[in-house]
């Protein structure tokens, strides 16, 4: 009768994967692209939006970029209703971004502030930290409404 050979060696796997580790332990942090669900961090009435398109014909959006999104969850008495197509500015992104001084900034979540076509915020408050890179992208109004500038 045939049996498996007994060996003390652990099987080796080619590449940089480990035999007993999960290769999905580290989450890949990428651009905010189509179908990415983002948290809304203003008081416009929306809770979650899904990215439809990144403006300026880019592959994806990063900190300070404008996106077109669809409202997926909304408060019943808010200014924005579920299903509405809105513009938003990305104020927090999980993908790291390098700064001029050599440091890098990244956040735990992907968050957006809803704006109108002219770039003015719909809400009157912005919750949580906002990076100062928005000043270079001409979103000074969002910085004035923010609780904390990172």
73-103 per-position pLDDT tens digit = 999 999 999 999 999 999 998 888 888 888 8
Indicate whether 57 belongs to any domain: yes
| pLDDT tens, residue order, the chain (150 aa) | 666 566 555 444 445 444 444 544 455 667 888 899 999 999 999 999 999 998 877 788 888 899 999 999 999 999 999 999 999 999 998 888 888 888 888 889 999 999 999 989 999 999 999 998 889 888 999 999 998 898
CATH code (residue 78) = 2.40.150.20
Which residues, in sequence order, are CB contacts of 115 under 8 Å at separation 6+? 66, 87, 88, 89, 121, 122, 142
Count of the separate structural domains present in the chain? 1
Supply the range of the domain harboring residue 141: 36-149
Residue 15, in any domain of the structure = no
Distance from chain centroid for Cα 89: 10
For residue 18, tell me if it sits in a domain: no
Residue 41, in any domain of the structure: yes
Structural domain contains residue 23? no
The reply to whether 26 falls in a domain is no
């Amino acid at each position: 009768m045939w049996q498996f050979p007994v060996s003390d060696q652990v099987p080796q796997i080619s590449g940089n994967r480990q035999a007993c580790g999960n290769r999905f332990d580290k989450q890949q942090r990428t651009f905010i692209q189509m179908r990415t669900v983002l948290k809304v961090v203003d008081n416009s009435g929306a809770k979650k939006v899904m990215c439809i398109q990144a403006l300026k014909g880019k592959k994806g959006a990063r900190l300070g970029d404008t996106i077109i999104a669809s409202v997926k969850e909304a408060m019943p008495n808010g200014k924005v209703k579920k299903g509405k197509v809105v513009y938003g500015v990305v104020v927090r992104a999980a993908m790291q971004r390098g700064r001029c001084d050599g440091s890098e900034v990244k956040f735990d979540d992907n968050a957006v502030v809803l704006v109108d076509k002219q770039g003015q915020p719909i809400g009157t408050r912005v919750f949580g930290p906002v990076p100062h890179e928005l000043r270079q992208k001409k979103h000074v109004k969002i910085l004035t409404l923010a609780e904390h500038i990172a």
